[in-house]
Chain A
Amino acid sequence: GDSVTQMEGPVTLSEEAFLTINCTYTATGYPSLFWYVQYPGEGLQLLLKATKADDKGSNKGFEATYRKETTSFHLEKGSVQVSDSAVYFCALNAGGGNKLTFGTGTQLKVEL
Chain B
Amino acid sequence: GAVVSQHPSRVICKSGTSVKIECRSLDFQATTMFWYRQFPKQSLMLMATSNEGSKATYEQGVEKDKFLINHASLTLSTLTVTSAHPEDSSFYICSAIQGRGKETQYFGPGTRLLVL
Assess whether B105 is in contact with A98, with CB atoms less than 8 Å apart.
yes
Distance of B95 from chain A, by nearest CB (Å): 8
Given A41-B109, A43-B108: A103 touches B103 (CB 8 Å cut-off): no
Is A35 among interface residues, defined by CB-CB distance under 8 A? no
Contact partner, B103, options A32, A41, A43, A101, Cβ 8 Å: A32
Contact partner, A43, options B34, B93, B97, B102, Cβ 8 Å: B93
Assess whether A102 is in contact with B49, with CB atoms less than 8 Å apart.
no
Distance of B11 from chain A, by nearest CB (Å): 16
Tell me whether chain B's interface is mostly helix, strand or loop, or mixed: strand
Assess whether A44 is in contact with B103, with CB atoms less than 8 Å apart.
no
Assess whether B103 is in contact with A98, with CB atoms less than 8 Å apart.
yes
Distance of B76 from chain A, by nearest CB (Å): 16
Which residues of chain A are near B12, meaning CB under 8 Å? Answer: none
Q: Chain A interface: which size bin?
A: 20 to 34
Assess whether A105 is in contact with B107, with CB atoms less than 8 Å apart.
no
The closest CB in chain A to the CB of B110 belongs to A43
Tell me whether chain A's interface is mostly helix, strand or loop, or mixed: strand
Q: How far is the CA of A49 from the CA of B103 in the complex (A)?
A: 11
**Apart from the given pairs A49-B104, A89-B44, A105-B43, 5 other A-B contacts in the complex at a CB distance below 8 Å:** A43-B93, A43-B110, A102-B43, A102-B44, A105-B41
The interface of chain A, by Cβ under 8 A from chain B, is 4, 32, 36, 41-46, 49, 89, 93, 97-105
The interface of chain B, by Cβ under 8 A from chain A, is 4, 6, 32, 34, 41-44, 46, 49, 57, 93, 95, 97, 102-110
Instruction: Return the 6 tightest CB-CB contacts between A and B, nearest first.
Output: A44-B107, A43-B107, A43-B109, A102-B43, A102-B44, A104-B43
